[in-house]
């Protein structure tokens, strides 16, 4: 039988955030990634890039299940969000944002296998423009803090404020892009029940408490 990898279980702490802000250590991860810019609510571009990521991710999964007996559940979509002018990183200035969408891949995957999956996806789905920009990369380990947001994406601001206050209160500094991990599908179910992990890379001095209530 194929070896079934449970990546959410392997990295349980990273995919089981609660309503309190907490420190986490993010190990080196392998990703399929693609860059975008502008308002993600202008869905044509965002949806093309998302579909491109999932196309490559599923081709890689099924190819390695057949060739190596390696199987896993495809991981959730993640997004890094940024702006050259930090003051524009507000809900009403999304047109100025740039962003990177990612999907974690097992560490067991080689660069050659990942690139072959991207090429296979391009041939299978030529209508997806984002596949021409897709890349495979590994990001180094880092420290972060995260918190769980429940509800519509447009209502994240108070949750983000709690996370940032926690980071500041612990004497830390934000050090990297604002990240969101989408545990729910906005196309299905009640938007008020969507679950999103809000994560902020940081630098922190010394040993700190692991959790502070909101």
Contact 162, 147 (CB under 8 A): yes
**CA–CA distance, 95 with 152 (Å, rounded to integer):** 19
Using the 3D structure, point to which of 140, 161, 189 is the last residue of a domain.
140
pLDDT for residue 208: 46
14/95 same-domain check: no
Q: Quick one: 147 and 204 in the same domain?
A: yes
* 88 or 78: which leads in pLDDT: 78
DSSP state of 128: -
117 and 169 in a single domain? The answer is no
Higher pLDDT, residue 38 or 210: 38
Query: pLDDT tier at 102 (50, 70, 90 boundaries)?
Result: very high
Task: Check whether residue 32 and residue 136 sit in a common domain.
Answer: yes
Closest listed residue to residue 177, CA positions, set 144, 148, 212: 144
State both tokens at 71.
């199987």
**pLDDT interval class at 85 (50, 70, 90):** low
**Can you read off the two tokens belonging to residue 95?**
């047109």
| Cβ atoms 211, 146 nearer than 8 A | no
Q: Radius of gyration of the chain from Cα atoms?
A: 18
CB atoms < 10 A from the CB of 83, how many?
Answer: 18
Kindly state whether residues 134 and 201 are assigned to the same domain. Answer: no
Residue 13: enclosing H or E segment and its boundaries? none
- Among 140, 173, 201, which residue terminates a domain? 140
Alpha helices in 30-128 (DSSP H): 43-68, 111-124
Q: Is 214 a residue whose pLDDT tops 70?
A: no
Domain CATH for 105 = 3.20.80.10
124 and 52 belong to one structural domain: yes
Residue 165 half-sphere exposure, CB side, CA atoms within 13 Å?
10
pLDDT of 166 reads 96
95-99, 134-138, 165-169, 180-184: range with lowest mean pLDDT: 95-99
How much is the average pLDDT of 192-200?
94
With CA atoms as reference, report the closest residue to 24 among 200, 214, 213.
200
Whether residues 191 and 93 share a domain: the answer is no
pLDDT value at 88 more than 90? no
Would you place residue 206 in the very low, low, confident or very high pLDDT band (cuts 50, 70, 90)?
A: low
Number of domains in the chain: 2
Please determine, for residue 212, whether its predicted confidence score (pLDDT) is greater than 50. no
Of 92, 118, 140, the position where a domain reaches its end is 140
pLDDT per position as a tens digit, 112-164:
999 999 999 999 999 999 999 999 999 999 999 999 999 998 899 899 999 99
Residues 65 and 163 in one domain: no
Element (H, E) at 125: none
Q: Is the pLDDT of residue 90 over 80?
A: no
Same-domain check for residues 73 and 166:
no
Q: Return the pLDDT at 108.
A: 94
pLDDT at 84 over 80: no
**Position of tokens 């984002």?**
130
The angle subtended at Cα 205 by Cα 144 and Cα 23, nearest 5°, is 25
Do 45 and 115 fall into the same domain? yes
The answer to whether residues 124 and 148 belong to one domain is no
- Domain interval for residue 198: 1-27+143-214
pLDDT band for position 44 (cuts 50, 70, 90): confident
Assess whether 77 and 110 both reside in one domain: yes
């Amino acid at each position: 039988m194929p070896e079934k990898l449970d990546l959410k279980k392997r990295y349980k702490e990273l995919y089981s955030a609660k309503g309190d802000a907490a420190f986490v250590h993010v190990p080196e991860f392998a990703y399929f990634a693609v860059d975008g810019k502008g308002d993600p609510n202008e869905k044509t571009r965002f949806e093309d890039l998302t579909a491109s990521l999932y196309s490559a991710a599923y081709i890689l999964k099924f190819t390695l299940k057949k060739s190596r007996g390696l199987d896993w559940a495809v991981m959730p979509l993640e997004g890094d969000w940024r702006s050259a002018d930090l003051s524009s990183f507000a809900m009403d200035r999304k047109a100025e944002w740039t962003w990177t969408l990612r999907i974690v891949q097992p560490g067991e995957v080689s660069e050659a296998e990942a690139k072959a999956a991207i090429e296979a996806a391009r041939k299978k789905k030529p209508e997806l423009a984002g596949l021409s920009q897709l890349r495979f990369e590994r990001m180094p380990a880092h420290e972060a803090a995260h918190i769980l947001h429940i509800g519509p994406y447009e209502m994240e601001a108070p949750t983000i404020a709690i996370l940032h206050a926690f980071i500041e209160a612990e004497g830390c500094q934000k050090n990297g892009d604002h990240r969101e991990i989408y545990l729910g599908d906005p196309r299905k179910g009640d938007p008020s029940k969507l679950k999103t992990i809000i994560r902020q890379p940081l630098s922190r001095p010394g040993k700190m408490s692991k959790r502070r209530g909101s």
